[in-house]
Chains A and B, each alone.
Chain A
Amino acid sequence: DAKTTQPPSMDCAEGRAANLPCNHSTISGNEYVYWYRQIHSQGPQYIIHGLKNNETNEMASLIITEDRKSSTLILPHATLRDTAVYYCIVFGSNDYKLSFGAGTTVTVRA
């Protein structure tokens, strides 16, 4: 029952920006867009979240379209350690649980 659509995989060159798209066309007004990633054999790691405005932190930037139906996670300078599965999740303020889809497997190549 994932509310998001992501490409199954993408490659990125080390040192370049990685742009990860996510479609969430059925998102409602009180729902946030969250991004997590899971590096092989580790627990998922929170990256960033946003509601309407673009957000930036030390890990990434999140660009949300004006109609909020899609967003892009940007890793500004990808490193080999950014190789992971990235999950885009829509989460409402009344929700209790995160619903993880299949995510995007990002491979950063030297």
Chain B
Amino acid sequence: DTAVSQTPKYLVTQMGNDKSIKCEQNLGHDTMYWYKQDSKKFLKIMFSYNNKELIINETVPNRFSPKSPDKAHLNLHINSLELGDSAVYFCASSQIRGLEQYFGPGTRLTVT
């Protein structure tokens, strides 16, 4: 049973396209997150939702829009993709904000 799952695992697309990454957790957690890991391997938080409510929105271009249809899902939609958006995106969840986060396997996004 996969605790935190993401689809797709790999995503290759061209500049200017719009794409979505989906995340689902079956742990019954209240809080979900999106992180970005760039080529230098630094992991930075982008967004956090608690009970479908946005609680963290780091300095992320507004081309990135998270959507949480319910507690178990937090999707990431990206408009007008740019080369610099190429990275690995990780979804995570936790029962209580911040603590013991469980991460998904990541989505490697390549923008050409």
Contact = CB atoms under 8 A, between A and B. Distances in A.
Given A43-B90, A43-B106, A98 B100 contact: no
Interface on chain A toward B: helix, strand, loop, or mixed SS?
A: loop
A97 B56 contact: yes
A68 interface: no
Nearest to A102: B42
Contacts of A66: none
Interface bracket on B? 20 to 34
B32 to A, nearest CB: 12
A93 B4 CA distance: 24
B103 A98 contact: no
A98 B97 CA distance: 10
Interface of A: 36, 38, 41-46, 49, 85, 87, 91, 95-100, 102
